[in-house]
């Protein structure tokens, strides 16, 4: 085998493991939320800042995920879903992963700090809560989902803070929207992965079981998400506003999301849980797109 071929294989393997250990799909979705928050707040789009936010945001989430997989490496080895991750599979050493996590943390927070101090502060809070509170609580109590929802809700508001350098009612509403949204999202995942999670001792469902109690709580949090999503139309959320047409679209998306919550309550199947999870991802993406589109349409009009 030539040196060129060997180098190509090594680089390809590293990239594959890097994508896995930083959870690229999840990290990109977080970056999308941050960018959405920035576009909502920015009076003038500064593309270098937007690029810094995207890179810094990816590094921030990637670092959290690497720390998480270091801590949970023995538990990951027990679950079918995670046993082939780089660390439990032995493709990446703990020491190497730790160095990678530190580099991503320092680089990510430095990049966010170059935007403004508050952006870096919220990024640091996110990493700290995810690794120091959410991760160890997953085997202790279903309240881990509540704790995990805090860093999970930061990215949407982080974009607003990056654009303005301020925290007020606008990023607060964005935070609450994504905070409440995460409960049905997490519980849907926890439902269809319940048996796999049980192998590692993770307690993700609020009742500890796949029952109507869990499904009912998912419905309640979907309702709260819908209510928060239409708050900007009432005009007391500062610069965060929604037109009547956008509010109707947002509300319609919420009813569609709620339908899948009731389907889980009715059927109590893994299929219904998967459908709710997919609906949750589509829902939050559509809401962010509607919010952004409405802002720019109102500016152009």
Q: Note the Cα 7 to chain centre separation in Å.
A: 34
Q: CA-CA distance, 180 to 153, in Å (whole number)? A: 8
Class of domain 20-165: mainly alpha
The full set of domain ranges for the chain reads 20-165, 168-301
Q: CA-CA distance, 254 to 233, in Å (whole number)? A: 15
| Contact call for residues 159 and 34 (beta carbons, < 8 A) | yes
Segments of the chain with pLDDT less than 70: 1-9, 11
Q: What is the DSSP string of 159-180?
A: HHHHHHS--SHHHHHHHHHHHH
Instruction: Report the pLDDT value the prediction gives residue 140, as an integer from 0 to 100.
Output: 87
The DSSP output letter for 233 is G
Q: Torsion-angle region of residue 273: left (phi > 0), alpha (psi -120 to 50) or beta?
A: alpha
Q: What is the pLDDT of residues 224-241, one digit of tens each?
A: 999 999 999 998 888 899
Instruction: Report the pLDDT value the prediction gives residue 26, as an integer from 0 to 100.
Output: 85
Instruction: Report the pLDDT value the prediction gives residue 7, as an integer from 0 to 100.
Output: 47
SS3 239: coil
Quote the tokens at residue 224: 């709260």
CA dist 299 to 36, 43, 72, 292, Å?
Answer: 16, 10, 47, 11
Instruction: Report the pLDDT value the prediction gives residue 5, as an integer from 0 to 100.
Output: 45
């Amino acid at each position: 085998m030539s040196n060129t071929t060997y180098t190509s294989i090594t680089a390809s393997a590293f990239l594959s493991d890097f994508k896995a250990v930083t959870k690229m799909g999840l990290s990109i979705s977080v970056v999308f939320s941050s960018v959405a928050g920035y576009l909502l707040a920015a009076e003038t789009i500064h593309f270098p800042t937007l690029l810094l936010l995207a890179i810094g945001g990816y590094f921030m989430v990637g670092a959290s995920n690497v720390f998480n997989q270091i801590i949970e490496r023995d538990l990951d080895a027990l679950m079918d879903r995670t046993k082939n991750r780089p660390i439990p599979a032995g493709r990446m050493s703990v020491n190497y992963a730790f160095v990678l996590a530190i580099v991503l943390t320092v680089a990510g927070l430095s990049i966010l700090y170059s935007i403004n101090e508050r952006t870096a502060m919220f990024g640091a809070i996110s990493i700290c809560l995810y690794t120091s509170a959410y991760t160890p609580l997953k085997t202790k109590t279903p309240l881990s989902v509540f704790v995990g929802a805090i860093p999970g809700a930061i990215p949407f508001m982080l974009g607003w803070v990056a654009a303005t350098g301020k925290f007020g009612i606008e990023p607060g509403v964005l935070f609450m929207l994504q905070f409440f949204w995460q409960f049905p999202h997490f519980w849907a995942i926890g439902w269809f992965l319940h048996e796999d999670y049980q192998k590692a001792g993770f307690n993700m469902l609020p009742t500890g079981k796949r029952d109507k109690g869990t499904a009912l709580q998912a419905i309640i949090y979907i309702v709260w998400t819908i209510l928060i999503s239409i708050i900007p139309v009432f005009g007391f959320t500062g610069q965060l506003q929604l037109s009547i047409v956008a509010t109707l679209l947002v509300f319609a998306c919420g009813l569609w999301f709620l339908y899948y919550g009731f389907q889980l309550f009715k059927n109590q199947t893994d299929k219904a849980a998967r459908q709710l999870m997919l609906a949750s991802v589509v829902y939050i993406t559509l809401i962010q797109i509607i919010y952004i589109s409405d802002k720019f349409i109102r500016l152009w009009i």
